[in-house]
Amino acid sequence: MTTSEAPSAASQSGTGSRTVFLLAHTGRPAAIRSAELVVQGLLRCGIGVRVLAEEAADLPLPASAERVETGPGSPDALAGCELLVVLGGDGTLLRGAEFARVSGVPMLGVNLGRVGFLAEAERDDLDKVVDRVVTRAYEVEERMTLDVLVRTDGEIVHRDWALNEASVEKAARERMLEVVTEVDGRPVSRFGGDGVVCATPTGSTAYAFSAGGPVVWPEVEALLMVPISAHALFAKPLVTAPDSVLAVEVQPETPNGVLWCDGRRSVELPAGARVEVRRGAVPVRLARLHHASFTDRLVAKFALPVAGWRGAPH
């Protein structure tokens, strides 16, 4: 994970006009109201706002807000924008990451859901968010991603990526998925179970955490491999080097599986398929407003009991 300062005004191209891209969960009334407040605050300060045309109809936007008709796979959606502000829960934030990765624009998340580890602010912080955006009082850090390949009979049949995790899972509830896991070209273990999660440190507090994996601090560069409900004596979570290559081979005699990337994109895995996971070539950039430690964030997000702590002796 690397950290840098927000771009200065002098570094902005063009005539000095500034634009922020806004992405919201329009199915939530709280997101719609929050979007209205953010848009009003930015426009009052002379900062342009751009939104997706498909969301514009559900948001109370003035005519001055720019509408674009494009998807997350196109870098044109955020061309010229200095920041991507995302309002919603974890799913909306992961959707925003798709835009952030392809464009290189930093993402600032406002949590309107339950946990929101990717978010930097909460619903009550909207005024602060607008102020920090206007004054560029934020830092930008890079988060590791995953590049994912699917091979069938040795041929690459699918490519994908993930910010949190790539999970190989059983497609049929009534039967286990039989897999062999591999690290750096060497087999580790064969077992049957519900699947395997390959995660980044960012994803260690997501699906990998639910599967019993360790919490890894974001500044630690590593890859995680966490079995899901494995029926085996040795099927423990593994933490490997960041340049390791992880692989999960679906055994020929097992039912079909499915590959999920960040729980948003999926592809069927026929028996015999091989999934390879490595450090992503393109990171996701996150805008940070606070200097609070990850330890404090962990305690706050999971409401961990810390009563009785007296602090280290000075």
96 with 192, same domain? Answer: no
Tell me whether residue 235 is annotated as binding: no
The domain containing residue 124 runs over which residues? 19-143+284-302
Tell me whether residue 8 is annotated as binding: no
Tell me whether residue 160 is annotated as binding: no
pLDDT at 314: 66
109 with 192, same domain? Answer: no
- Mean pLDDT value across residues 206-214: 96
Q: Is residue 137 part of a domain?
A: yes
Cα–Cα distance for residue pair 242/278, rounded to 1 Å: 8
Q: b/e per residue, 235-258, with b = 16+ CB within 10 A?
A: bebbbbeeebbbbbbbbeebbebb
Whether 13 has a pLDDT exceeding 60, the answer reads: no
184 with 154, same domain? Answer: yes
272 with 152, same domain? Answer: yes
What pLDDT band is residue 219 in, cutting at 50, 70 and 90? Answer: very high
Tell me whether residue 95 is annotated as binding: yes
Amino acid identity for residue 28 in this structure: R
Q: Is residue 7 part of a domain?
A: no
pLDDT digit string, tens, across residues 63-106: 889 999 876 667 788 999 999 999 998 899 999 999 999 999 99
pLDDT digit string, tens, across residues 45-65: 999 999 998 888 888 888 889
164 with 265, same domain? Answer: yes
Amino acid identity for residue 42 in this structure: L
pLDDT at 125: 86
Q: How many domains does the chain have?
A: 2
Active site residue 76: no
Tell me whether residue 209 is annotated as binding: yes
- Mean pLDDT value across residues 170-188: 94
- Mean pLDDT value across residues 269-298: 94
Comparing 73-82, 149-158, 179-188, which segment has the lowest mean pLDDT?
Answer: 73-82
Share of the chain above pLDDT 90, in %: 70
Name, in order, each residue with C-beta under 8 angstroms of 35's C-beta and a sequence gap of 6 or more.
22, 24, 59, 60, 87
Read off the CATH number of the domain in which 29 is found.
3.40.50.10330
117 with 203, same domain? Answer: no
Q: Is residue 234 part of a domain?
A: yes
- Mean pLDDT value across residues 282-288: 96
What is the helix (H) or strand (E) element at residue 209, kind and residue range?
A: helix 207-210
Of the residues 58, 76, 90, 124, only one is catalytic, namely 90
165 with 108, same domain? Answer: no
Q: Long-range pairs for 279-283 at CB < 8 Å and ≥24 separation? A: 279/144, 279/145, 279/146, 279/147, 279/223, 279/242, 279/243, 280/144, 280/145, 280/146, 280/147, 280/161, 280/162, 281/147, 282/101, 282/102, 282/145, 282/161, 283/101, 283/142, 283/143, 283/144, 283/145
Structure tokens at 59: 């948001």
Tell me whether residue 111 is annotated as binding: no
Read off the CATH number of the domain in which 242 is found.
2.60.200.30
